[in-house]
Amino acid sequence: MTTQTTAPETPTPASGTPTGLIGLPEKTGLALALGGSVLTIISTFLAWTWTSAFPGDLTVYGYPGGLQVLVLIGGALATLFCLARYGVKGLGWLVPAGADGAIKFATLATFATSWYTVLAISVDLGGIVNLEPGGYLVAVASLAAFLGALALPFERPEPDPFDPDDTGWELFKHRAGNKWATFKAAFATGTPRRLGTLPSYVEILIIVAVLALGLTVFTYGIGTEYDELFIGFLITAAFGFAALNKAGLIAQASQITARHQNITICGAFVAAALFPFTQTDDQYATIGVYILIFATVALGLNIVVGLAGLLDLGYVAFLGVGAYAAALVSGSPSSPFDVHFPFWAAVLVGALASLVFGVLIGAPTLRLRGDYLAIVTLGFGEIFRITANNLDGTSGPDLTNGSNGISSIPNLNILGFDFGLQHTIGGFTIGRFANYFFLMLLITAVVVLVFRRSGDSRIGRAWVAIREDETAALAMGINGFRVKLIAFAVGASLAGLAGTVQAHVTYTVTPEQYLFAGVIPPNSAFLLAAVVLGGMGTISGPLIGAALLFLIPNKLQFLGDYQLLAFGLALILLMRFRPEGMIPNRRRQLEFHEDAEPPTVLTKTGA
Q: Which has the minimum average pLDDT: 101-110, 175-184, 534-543?
A: 175-184
Among 536, 555, 574, residue at a domain's last position: 555
Condensed to tens digits (0 to 9), the pLDDT of residues 502-536 reads 888 888 888 888 887 665 667 777 888 888 888 88
Same domain, 370 and 305: yes
Q: Which has the minimum average pLDDT: 1-5, 191-195, 259-263, 359-363?
A: 191-195
- Give the total number of structural domains in the chain: 2
Instruction: Note the pLDDT of residue 588.
Output: 62
Same domain, 353 and 401: yes
Query: Residue 365, SS3?
Result: helix
Condensed to tens digits (0 to 9), the pLDDT of residues 145-175 reads 999 999 888 654 444 444 444 444 444 444 4
Among 509, 539, 555, residue at a domain's last position: 555
Same domain, 302 and 243: no
Instruction: Note the pLDDT of residue 11.
Output: 44
The string of DSSP letters for 391-434 reads -BSSSS-BSS-GGG-B--PPPPEETTEETTS-EEETTEEE-HHH
Residue 184 — very low, low, confident or very high, per pLDDT cuts 50/70/90? Answer: very low
Same domain, 85 and 136: yes
Contact call for residues 13 and 133 (beta carbons, < 8 A): no
DSSP state of 559: G
| Best CA proximity match to 232, nearest among 80, 55, 104 | 55
Among 228, 259, 290, residue at a domain's last position: 259
Same domain, 236 and 382: no
pLDDT at 427 over 90: no
Residues with Cβ < 8 Å from 51, sequence gap 6 or more?
59, 125, 130
The domain in which residue 110 lies consists of 2-160+203-259
Instruction: Note the pLDDT of residue 162.
Output: 43
Instruction: Note the pLDDT of residue 596.
Output: 46
Query: Domain for residue 229, yes or no?
Result: yes
Query: Domain for residue 577, yes or no?
Result: no
Q: Which has the minimum average pLDDT: 284-298, 367-381, 551-565?
A: 551-565
- Give this prediction's pTM: 0.77
Average pLDDT over residues 336-349: 86
Query: Domain for residue 184, yes or no?
Result: no
DSSP state of 266: H
Instruction: Note the pLDDT of residue 431.
Output: 76
C-alpha pair distances (Å), 513 with each of 81, 400, 427, 457, 531: 46, 14, 36, 34, 20
pLDDT at 463 over 90: no
**More confident site: 593 or 259:** 259
Residue 589 — very low, low, confident or very high, per pLDDT cuts 50/70/90? Answer: low
The CATH number linked to 236 is: 1.20.140
Query: Domain for residue 587, yes or no?
Result: no
pLDDT at 75 over 80: yes
Average pLDDT over residues 102-130: 91
Same domain, 288 and 237: no
Instruction: Note the pLDDT of residue 592.
Output: 59
Query: Domain for residue 264, yes or no?
Result: no
Same domain, 228 and 292: no
Average pLDDT over residues 95-124: 91
Condensed to tens digits (0 to 9), the pLDDT of residues 465-479 reads 888 888 888 888 888
Instruction: Note the pLDDT of residue 594.
Output: 53
- For the chain, the average pLDDT equals 80
CA dist 5 and 235 (Å) reads: 38
Same domain, 303 and 439: yes
Query: Residue 604, SS3?
Result: strand
Instruction: Note the pLDDT of residue 421.
Output: 77
CA dist 174 and 166 (Å) reads: 9
Same domain, 414 and 374: yes
Residue 182 — very low, low, confident or very high, per pLDDT cuts 50/70/90? Answer: very low
Same domain, 147 and 82: yes
Same domain, 248 and 288: no
Residue length of the chain:
607
Same domain, 155 and 291: no
Query: Residue 197, SS3?
Result: coil
Cα Rg of the chain, angstroms: 27
Residues with Cβ < 8 Å from 412, sequence gap 6 or more?
343, 418, 419, 420, 436, 439, 504
Average pLDDT over residues 533-554: 82
Contact call for residues 193 and 601 (beta carbons, < 8 A): no
Query: Domain for residue 274, yes or no?
Result: no
Query: Domain for residue 578, yes or no?
Result: no
Query: Domain for residue 120, yes or no?
Result: yes
Percent of the chain with pLDDT strictly greater than 90: 15
Instruction: Note the pLDDT of residue 164.
Output: 46
